Amino acid sequence: MKILAIMGSPRKKGNTYQLTRKVEENMKQLDDVEFEYIFLKDLNLKTCLGCQVCFDKGEDLCPLDDDRAILEEKIHKADGVIFTSPTYVFNVSGLMKNFIDRFGYVCHRPRFFKNAIILTTSGVGTGSDLIMKPFSLALQTWGFNVIESFDIIKNGDPNSKLTTPVKKVNKKVKKTAKKFYGSLRAGRPKASIMSMVFFLFAKKNIKEVNPEFYDYNYWKGHGWLENNADYYYDPETNLVNKGLARLLSKFIGFVM
Ligand SMILES: Cc1cc2nc3c(=O)[nH]c(=O)nc-3n(C[C@H](O)[C@H](O)[C@H](O)COP(=O)(O)O)c2cc1C
């Protein structure tokens, strides 16, 4: 089992790394799990130019010549991915944000249908709650099933009331490692009602765009625009859930 840990801190051996290592140690107690750490700091991942060529013409035509495609290949090869970042001024780190932006085209053309977890650390806990939602949403639009996300406060003073107690951290890490491992053993994630709603809503929007549009062809090529497509792949769910997802997506479309 291969896990890829994408590290968003410029401090390679900092708090976020230490937390991730704890998850690794716990997972290795469960099975023969292979970990690979990618430090965004070391990667040649240039700043997004905002040209939108990846959206309009395809990511292969991105004018930036760097390691983006190599990183995408690594994500494809992993069974599960851990995304990590310190909290920087109510947000993820600049390194992590640039990584998310450089993979912006995946929001339009999802492809990573696998399980993931998010780990963050903060100095005093301010803003960590704010970053989880957009962080997790970005990954979900890429196809990931985010099974767990949590932040620990590591303000340097172990006796500070603000620091997450070691016992609590260890308990959470153990639980997360077990849950993540279990999800990876179970294989491709089953679709929840909400993820089907999201798919159906996106499908409706894509169907309405110009068929010349790059995303339209991607969706069509995958068979996702077919009337009977409820999800990117067989959602392995019952007819009631499928019907509910269709109703909800219609309702959202109507309200919006
Ligand atoms: C530029 C910068 C901004 C930060 N902003 C916040 C913040 O908004 N809230 C917070 O609780 N901690 C903040 N911190 C503290 C870090 O999130 C915290 O120390 C984190 O554990 C560092 O992780 P690392 O050791 O993996 O780099 C900030 C630190 C830096 C350097």
Mutational pocket test of ligand 1: of 118, 122, 126, 135, the residue with most ligand atoms within 8 Å of the beta carbon: 122
Here the tokens at position 193 are 């009602």
pLDDT tens, position by position, 94-129: 999 999 999 999 999 999 999 999 999 999 988 888
If you measure from the C-alpha of residue 247 to the centroid of ligand 1, how many angstroms do you get, rounded to a whole number?
A: 43
**How far, CA to CA in Å, does 142 sit from each of 138, 146, 171, 197?**
7, 11, 29, 15
CB-based pocket (< 6 A), ligand 1: 9, 11, 14-17, 86-90, 121-127, 154
What pLDDT, on a 0 to 100 scale, did the predictor assign at position 197?
A: 95
Q: What is the pTM of this model?
A: 0.95
Nearest one of 91, 96, 102, 154 to 128, comparing CA atoms: 91
* 52 Cβ neighbours under 8 A, 6+ residues apart: none
What pLDDT, on a 0 to 100 scale, did the predictor assign at position 64?
A: 98
> Is 2-186 assigned to CATH 3.40.50.360?
yes
Q: Which atom of ligand 1 is nearest to the CA of 152?
A: 21
157 pLDDT band, cuts 50/70/90, is: confident
If you measure from the C-alpha of residue 15 to the centroid of ligand 1, how many angstroms do you get, rounded to a whole number?
A: 9
Residue 159 predicted with pLDDT over 80? no
pLDDT tens, position by position, 67-92: 999 999 999 999 999 999 999 999 99
**Under a CB-based contact definition with an 8 Å cutoff, are residues 141 and 106 in contact?**
yes
pLDDT tens, position by position, 167-191: 999 999 999 999 999 999 998 998 9
What is the pairing mode between strands 34-39 and 80-86? unpaired
Q: Which residue has a Cα nearest atom 3 of ligand 1?
A: 88
Residue ranges per domain, the chain?
2-186, 193-255
pLDDT tens, position by position, 21-59: 999 999 999 999 999 999 999 999 999 999 999 999 999
If you measure from the C-alpha of residue 123 to the centroid of ligand 1, how many angstroms do you get, rounded to a whole number?
A: 5
**Under a CB-based contact definition with an 8 Å cutoff, are residues 66 and 45 in contact?**
yes
Residue 226 CA to residue 29 CA, distance in Å, equals 44
**How far, CA to CA in Å, does 202 sit from each of 69, 92, 195, 229?**
25, 26, 11, 12
223 pLDDT band, cuts 50/70/90, is: very high
Q: Which residue has a Cα nearest atom 28 of ligand 1?
A: 88
What pLDDT, on a 0 to 100 scale, did the predictor assign at position 144?
A: 96
Q: Which atom of ligand 1 is nearest to the CA of 19?
A: 26
Cβ neighbours around 238 below 10 Å, total: 9
If you measure from the C-alpha of residue 87 to the centroid of ligand 1, how many angstroms do you get, rounded to a whole number?
A: 5
